[in-house]
Structure 1
Amino acid sequence: MRVKKSQSLTSGITLQAVAKAAGVTIATASRSLNDAYGVHPETRARVLEVAQKLRYTPNRFARGLVTGRSDMIGLIVSDVRNSYFAEVARGVEDAALESGRDVLLCNSDLNAERQMKSFISLLDKRAEAIIMNSVASLSQEHQQQIAAAGVPIVLLNGAGRGTPFSTVCADNEKGGRLVAECLLRSGHRNVINLTGPRRHSNLARRSSSFLKAMSVQRGTRVRTIHAINTLQGGYDASVEMFKELGGATAIFAGNDVMAFGVMRAAIEAGIRIPRDISLIGFDDVELAAISFPPLTTIHQPKYDVGRAAIEIVNELLESGINRPQHRVVDVKLVERASVAKIGR
């Protein structure tokens, strides 16, 4: 079926039809529907009533061509199957909808080329801002290209020196310290620090703070292992790690999904958590409470991280000044059943 050029592509009712039925000009109808200034309250009410009766739905694409706005925010995460990003994405979407914006989600799969393709695709779709978990894996040239894109960029990790991007993240330094304090209180002196790639900002900060806090206690020994920060990465590293623990009594996994990989490898190796070795994670994803055993971890408000990212986007878009903003959300230790107390 052919659609006339003057028809809405959704309801078939045009702005012109609403204006005619309400007995006003097209400009007045438009201002009424967009809550703009200069419209008498009675006129606005009449236009809104007519629009509702006619089931008028604005053509957002056409409106975007006129206003130059898409009301769309891009979100690029490593893998939305990771519960951490699922909760962050929900916070992003809820906050965006409240501000009249939509969210287009992309997965990078920890692949720099795919991340850049997603970024360029979002720009082609006229995204007004883009939120992404990191740019650490990208080349300097690509990072400069992103910085010069002309739209607000918000990263879901800590701010580096002189970064041109806004950031929002958990207090990774505090989290790493809380992990060390928990293990030291429980008597652990020989531990394994299972962290992610060296260039991963969030995990690197957690690891650094953890190592610093552990070093305060005399007689401690920490072996650091770098792995891909996924369930499979945690599993693969643990398969090798369990062949020779070197007397370690506890493992700090840089995030919960890596900890789940440790659990899987432990089951296959016949190692019991926490009887044979203790385990602590970071993030407090939903599955952490129902894993076996329930995982002791660091809680960060993932949903709030997503909302905070949109709050930054809204402020930057409304001000028209793309000056980087940085927010850090608090964390806390959640003690469950995966860390055992041992004799000193």
Structure 2
Amino acid sequence: MNAEPERHKRATVIDVARAAGVSRQTVTRAMNDMDGISAATRQRVLDVAKELRYRPSRFGRGLVVGHRPALGLVTEGLTNPYFPELADGVVEAATAAGWNVLVTDGSHDGGDPRRFLREVADQVDAVIGYFRIGPDAFDDVFGDLPVVVLEGTAEDGHRGVVEIDFAPGLDAGIEHLLETGRRRIVMIDSRSAAAPSRRTAAFRAAMERHGLDPLVVFEGDSGGDAAGAVARALREAPDVDAFMTFNDLHAFAVLKAVQHAGLEVPDRCAVLGIDGLAMGVVSSPELSSLDLDIAAVGRIAVELAIGMQTGALPSSGPEVHRVVRHTLLLRESA
């Protein structure tokens, strides 16, 4: 079977009908599990649809009539203030383009991310966010739906990608800490030693570029044990004079734990987060961070998703790969 549509063009019901050797009406019946066709014909149509990554239009199925197209945003936990800031940028950009936004929380997928994501995909015309599945599952879960992965990499084989390059921000942060007399810098990762984050890999590389020993302490699979992580760091390196953290949310907890351990911030020990959340100004002292333009991340992702949906951009490849970098945001904690 060789019925692959053009790379810039989404498969249509006509493409499926032609490849399966049936009428458009038969494709509609098969895709909507309607009567009037044999089980063998239905399966042949479904197989062809899967091969072509065909996904019936929500409009064609009558699920939405006369409404604006919808964009799905999948987050990893709306209690993390990063995601409301991201959602705000996504909604602003999508609304300006005439799209509605469905915001979902993937941390409540019930242990079945494929089913959760299929349910999201059935309600939208494109989807962006953080997905707990690998790119090898995208065809099965999303079909030909435009997909933009946040914090992915081109090497992952994803479709659209907004990659976060941590290296420049980490270099700037470490250089600042060195310039202010810090010599024993420790990274606290919210993940486990068995599965460290990409941020830890970037931290280790940046420290090695500066000729420093990259000590990393892990909070565990679920994070949330900042006090224990700080205590372990102080046991391993009593002379620690700066902490970098997985993100700002963890930095707030580390900041509190460091102060409870009797270390004055920033005089005795600096604390530097990652993300540059607006709420960093309400901590005491105010949190210094590697600042990410979160609204720009949302805006870029929306532009990619809409471009892929309209056919202005391909469904994968370098044309739908963007890179965003951090800048150093100095407040009071470093």
- CA change 1:244–1:204 in 2 (3 A) is closer
The equivalent residue for 1:249 is 241
Contact conserved, 2:234 with 2:240, CA < 8 A, in 1? no
The equivalent residue for 2:304 is 312
Is 1:208–2:201 an aligned residue pair? yes
Contact conserved, 2:93 with 2:299, CA < 8 A, in 1? yes
Contact conserved, 1:232 with 1:258, CA < 8 A, in 2? yes
Is 1:131–2:137 an aligned residue pair? no
- 144, 150, 154: which is aligned to 2:144? 150
Is 1:279–2:271 an aligned residue pair? yes
Q: Secondary structure at the match of 1:109?
A: helix
Q: What amino acid maps onto 1:81 in structure 2?
A: T
The equivalent residue for 1:290 is 282
- 2: distance between equivalents of 1:173 and 1:238? 24
Is 1:80–2:78 an aligned residue pair? yes
Q: Secondary structure at the match of 1:221?
A: coil
- Which stretch shifts more, 316-325 or 278-287? 316-325
Q: What amino acid maps onto 2:255 in structure 1?
A: M
Give the TM-score normalised by the residue count of structure 1: 0.69
Is 1:103–2:101 an aligned residue pair? yes
The equivalent residue for 2:189 is 195
Structure 1: gaps (5+ residues) = 1-59, 340-344
Q: What amino acid maps onto 1:206 in structure 2?
A: R
Q: Secondary structure at the match of 2:107?
A: coil
Contact conserved, 1:231 with 1:261, CA < 8 A, in 2? no
**Per-residue Cα deviation, 1:175-212 (whole angstroms, up to 9, x for no partner):** 222222122222222221112437999x8443333322
Is 1:232–2:230 an aligned residue pair? no
Contact conserved, 1:181 with 1:213, CA < 8 A, in 2? no
Contact conserved, 1:294 with 1:337, CA < 8 A, in 2? yes
Q: Secondary structure at the match of 1:232?
A: coil
The equivalent residue for 1:120 is 118
Q: Secondary structure at the match of 1:247?
A: coil
Q: Secondary structure at the match of 1:292?
A: coil
- CA change 1:265–1:230 in 2 (3 A) is farther
- 2: distance between equivalents of 1:70 and 1:63? 15
- Which stretch shifts more, 251-260 or 240-249? 240-249
- Which stretch shifts more, 103-112 or 310-319? 103-112
- Which stretch shifts more, 152-161 or 308-317? 152-161
Give the superposition deviation at 1:158: 3.3
Q: What amino acid maps onto 2:328 in structure 1?
A: L
- 2: distance between equivalents of 1:100 and 1:199? 44
Aligned residues: 274
**Per-residue Cα deviation, 1:243-269 (whole angstroms, up to 9, x for no partner):** 554321111112111101102222433
Q: Secondary structure at the match of 2:286?
A: coil
Is 1:334–2:329 an aligned residue pair? yes
CA RMSD of aligned residues (A): 3.3
Give the superposition deviation at 1:119: 0.8
Q: Secondary structure at the match of 2:287?
A: coil
- CA change 1:65–1:81 in 2 (3 A) is closer
